[in-house]
Amino acid sequence: MIQAPDLQPFHLAIQVRCLSEAREFYGSLLDCTEGRSSGVWVDFNLYGHQLVCHLNKDLGPKGKVISHTNPVDGHTIPVPHFGVVLELDQWYKLAEILKKKNLIFTVEPTVRFKGDKGEQATMFFYDPSGNALEFKAFKDRKKQLFAV
């Protein structure tokens, strides 16, 4: 089997309708530290990855980015989406924090594909601009993340 190298941080740039709203969501709600910024973008540290929120004034104050959905294990899943694969205990802690902060979930924290090689804890939600996020975890991430 080919061994994967140590994971490298990814860089993801997304569009948002309002930078202060993005700061509230990613900074306050998800507890991401803020890095560099300008009048049209802001960097966040999302579990060691660089997430950049770029202002798209064309979205307007109530606008949302457009997404598609697909059915997966009985749930309607937004596409595209992004997030982080956490350790299982981190995932449970994050789920509890987000519930206490009254976040509205698209897919409530749940375990899907129960009993299968791909069994995973997952939750989906949207940021205010309509970007879909998924945070997931496996009992044994190294063995299950790319299991077939």
Instruction: Please spell the DSSP secondary structure of 22-71, one letter per residue.
Output: HIIIIIIIS-PEEEEE-SSEEEEEETTEEEEEEE-GGG-TT-----EEEE
Q: What is the pLDDT of residue 1?
A: 40
User: What are the extents of the domains in the chain?
Assistant: 11-144
Cβ-Cβ contacts under 8 Å for 126 (sequence gap 6 or more): 64, 78, 104, 106, 132, 133
What residues in the chain have per-residue pLDDT under 70?
1-5
Q: Yes or no: say if 128 and 134 are a contact pair by the CB < 8 Å rule.
A: no
Residue 129, Cα to own-chain centre: how many angstroms?
13
Give the per-residue pLDDT at 86.
95
Phi/psi region, residue 40 (left: phi>0; alpha: psi -120 to 50; beta: rest), is: alpha
What does pTM read for this prediction?
0.90
Three-state secondary-structure class, residue 141: helix
- 113-126 burial code (b ≥16 CB/10 A, e <16): eeeeeeebbbbbbb
Q: In angstroms, rounded to a whole number, what is the distance separating the alpha carbons of residues 6 and 129?
A: 32
At residue 116, the pLDDT reads: 83
CATH code 3.10.180.10 for 11-144: yes
